[in-house]
Structure 1
């Protein structure tokens, strides 16, 4: 190994990355290949939506937390309004998130939605309206994760900025206090 070369960063969580990709690929692969093996729309619909729902749950509750340190959910408050809840790791832990893990998470999140959208266009072109229902469910689950994690990332950045400004303000205040207490 040449010491002048920078070390190659590997995946910090290869098993989580594998299952993150596996669940996304399984729903897409089953939908694409199912026409070769099944004539029943009901079987294709149920299995594809089940695999997409499993992917949604794994991304939202497992791989999102491990790979990018984010988790989101939506609650209904007492007034009946929808309230987004976000959870993220502390600033030090977020700084240690593996770049390859994060890259894989975000790219597969977006590419899956694009793949479902393209499959939807093909279903429209082939006049298969019933398959648009399958794609619509799977695409909405993918988009829900994109929206949730994007909002969560923005909220995490806002929290980090607030923490940094509070830290700077308290440091400035303590410096001023110590300067005037010496005099």
Structure 2
């Protein structure tokens, strides 16, 4: 019951905040930025791979949010709306950097379970994060969109203007590459 009350209260607060933003209240813009910037920065950092690009992309995305806040019809969907803008800015940034997505038709990507014995080495959050960070941009982008942003392969294909099979292949290869990187790091220990 308390969770429902908190959720209704948060929705009311968000509705009021968006309403104030639509009226041009600069303090409301600051509150909106403060409420969402940390989570959106994490998306930017995961997708761009470095702090400077993440910061620039975040600022550009929030400028678009502020310019277009009057277009937001349902304040209850503000999080999804902001996230979509942030992801689109990240993708635009990656396109400018000419991130390469390898087009494939019917390439065998191997067994999803693979021959890697995952129990034979330690999986740590830091090791996986570091491994994702060093992935090629194409792999990292697909992996982030699928795992962290929870887009479907079909949605990712549409966003990146590539085939769904390419998305699936990039995702499988990214997972395999993460396994390899973590396994190599643990072998060096």
Q: Same fold (TM over 0.5)?
A: no
The structure with the larger Rg is: 1
TM-score calculated relative to the size of structure 2: 0.27
TM-score calculated relative to the size of structure 1: 0.28
